[in-house]
């Protein structure tokens, strides 16, 4: 799920250079009440103003030079990525020189100086804050859109056992399931844990929920691609039920069929599924991660699709939990790029090769662990530590 790169825009620096003129300083001062402007002007001596303008010029020149260097670097990252993709389409081997082998440039120039004169606040349009739905919102959407309430487990252990049965039957190993759970939830997360609302957090930071942290878009995509198989599984369960339980299961199957039709109403593309995911019906689909019958199927297939993807691409060796997590975190194509890399190359290839600039600069883990080998090692280390916690131990026992 790539993020847009931050690009160098020279006009920003041209606009900033206007601050170097006396007229700009006068405009700054006149924008404030007279008493405030006079006080500020008295506090800012001509020497201080001259020093500020000199240092601002130095800063803008250094920053422009850095942006030019960084822009060239991230363009080369994108160019190498396109080259690797082309090679893979032609079934050609990937070599070390198909990656950028230097680390991203880091700005080391002067900081932006503080203007001794008052600056008018720029007018900014009000930002639209898109609400992140939480479990209560998902349940409300399911009730309103489908007249359905997910069947919640009687206990956390019940959900863990259901997930373990489904995962094992699908071919996931206990090590893969437990260690990915340990990484994604910190080794203590419940089946309904949401990103941000964990370990004392009070505010959701994404729609990611559950053992493998499915986003709303993951749920819509999986229902579109795997929904008919999920319906078949539920029909097999329904055949063993009678009375009220059978009626409840039949209703769940009917709802799931309607969700499948909704998810299949657009082309099988991430962007299209993401559009559906940000609607009340999409929220209702995501509520299925909480259901004792459908939730384990969704959590399992979130990982299983990566295993199948690797197999289709000719990678027959079983994925380690850390390798599977790379695919879970970065997407199958990008993750497989790292997974298929020999150890000697992993030691040399920077993690920057697998990010857009904006995503990389907001990812301190990728910056600190700046080669593929180091990123996989820190992932394994966190899995080792968290696997000893009670939630992970309970999940391991469920297998």
- Residue 119's alpha-carbon distances to 27, 47, 61, 72, 116, in angstroms, are 9, 18, 21, 33, 9
**What is the reported pLDDT for 122?**
72
Examine the pLDDT at 196 and tell me if it is beyond 60: yes
Query: What pLDDT, in 10s, does the model give residues 205-235?
Result: 899 999 999 999 999 999 999 999 999 999 9
> What's the rounded mean pLDDT across residues 149-172?
97
Contact between 182 and 389 under an 8 Å Cβ cutoff? The reply is: yes
Does residue 120 lie in a domain region? no
pLDDT in the model for residue 32:
45
pLDDT band at 64 (very low <50, low <70, confident <90, very high): very high
pLDDT digits (tens, 9 = 90+) for 264-279: 999 999 999 999 999 9
Alpha carbon separation from 121 to 31, 118, 135, 249 (Å, rounded): 10, 9, 39, 59
- 200 — pLDDT class (breaks 50, 70, 90): confident
The answer as to whether 127 is a domain residue is: no
308 and 384 fall within a common domain:
yes
* Residue 112 belongs to a domain: no
Per-residue tokens: 397: 């026992």
Given 42, 71, 98, the domain boundary residue is 98
Q: Among residues of the chain, what percentage have pLDDT more than 70?
A: 88
- Is residue 180 located within the same domain as residue 50? no
8-state DSSP, 33: -
CA atoms within a 13 Å half-sphere pointing along the CA-CB vector of 385: 9
The answer to whether residue 120 scores a pLDDT higher than 60 is: yes
Examine the domain organization and report whether 376 and 232 are in the same domain: yes
pLDDT band at 42 (very low <50, low <70, confident <90, very high): low
Burial class (CB in 10 A: 0-12, 13-18, 19+), 284: buried
pLDDT score recorded for residue 6: 31
Task: Report how far apart, in Å, the C-alpha atoms of 38 and of each of 30, 48, 235, 239, 396 are.
Answer: 9, 15, 80, 85, 71
Confidence band, pLDDT 50/70/90 cuts, at residue 3: very low
> Which pair of structure tokens corresponds to residue 322?
């850390």
Inform me whether the pLDDT recorded for 30 exceeds 80.
no
d(CA 384, CA 399): 18
Asked if 87 and 212 sit in the same domain, the reply is no
Better-scored residue on pLDDT, 36 or 42: 42
Range of the domain at 79: 10-98
Identify whether residues 19 and 142 lie together within a single domain: no
Cβ atoms 331, 252 nearer than 8 A = no
pLDDT of 258 reads 98
Spatial separation of the C-alpha atoms in residues 71 and 85, rounded to whole Å? 21
Note whether 327 and 306 are within 8 A (CB): yes
Q: What is residue 217's predicted lDDT score, i.e. its pLDDT? A: 96
Q: Is residue 36 part of a domain?
A: yes
Please answer whether residues 219 and 286 qualify as being in contact, where contact means their C-beta atoms are separated by less than 8 angstroms: yes
Q: How many CA atoms lie within 13 A of 235 on its CB side?
A: 9
Overall domain count for the chain: 2
To the nearest whole number, what is the mean pLDDT of the chain?
A: 87
């Amino acid at each position: 799920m790539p993020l847009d790169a931050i690009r160098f825009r020279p006009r920003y620096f041209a606009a900033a250079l206007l601050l170097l003129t006396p007229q700009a300083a006068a405009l700054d001062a006149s924008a404030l009440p007279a008493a405030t402007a006079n006080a500020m002007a008295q506090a800012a001596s001509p020497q201080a103003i001259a020093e500020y303008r000199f240092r601002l010029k130095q800063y803008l020149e250094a920053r422009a030079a850095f942006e030019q260097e960084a822009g060239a670097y991230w363009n080369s990252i994108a160019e190498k990525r396109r080259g690797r993709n082309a090679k893979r389409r032609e079934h050609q081997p990937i070599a070390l020189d198909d990656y950028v082998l230097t680390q991203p440039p880091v700005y080391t120039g002067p900081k932006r100086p503080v203007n001794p004169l008052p600056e008018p606040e720029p007018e900014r349009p009000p930002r639209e804050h898109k609400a992140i739905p939480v479990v209560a919102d998902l349940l409300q959407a399911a009730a309103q859109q489908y007249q359905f309430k997910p069947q919640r487990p009687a206990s956390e252990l019940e959900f863990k056992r259901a997930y373990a049965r489904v995962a094992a039957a699908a071919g996931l190993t206990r090590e893969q399931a437990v260690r990915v759970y340990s990484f994604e939830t910190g080794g203590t997360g419940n089946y309904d844990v949401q990103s941000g609302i964990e370990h004392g957090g009070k505010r959701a930071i994404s729609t990611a929920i559950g053992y493998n942290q499915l986003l709303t878009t993951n749920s819509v995509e999986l229902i579109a691609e795997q929904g008919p198989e999920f319906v078949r599984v539920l029909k097999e369960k329904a055949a063993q039920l009678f009375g009220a339980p059978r009626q409840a299961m039949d209703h769940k199957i009917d709802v799931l069929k309607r969700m499948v039709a909704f998810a299949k109403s657009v082309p099988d593309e991430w962007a299209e599924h993401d559009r559906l995911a940000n609607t009340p019906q999409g929220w209702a689909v995501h509520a299925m991660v909480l259901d004792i019958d459908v939730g384990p199927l969704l959590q399992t297939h979130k990982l299983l699709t990566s295993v199948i993807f690797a197999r289709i691409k000719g990678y027959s060796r079983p994925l380690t939990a850390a390798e599977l997590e790379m695919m879970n975190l970065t997407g199958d194509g990008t993750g497989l790029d790292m997974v298929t890399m020999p150890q000697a190359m992993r030691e040399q290839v920077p993690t920057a090769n697998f990010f857009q600039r904006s995503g990389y600069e907001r990812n301190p883990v990728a910056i600190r662990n700046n080669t593929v080998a180091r990123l996989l090692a820190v992932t394994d280390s966190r899995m080792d530590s968290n696997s000893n916690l009670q939630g992970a131990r309970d999940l391991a026992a469920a297998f």
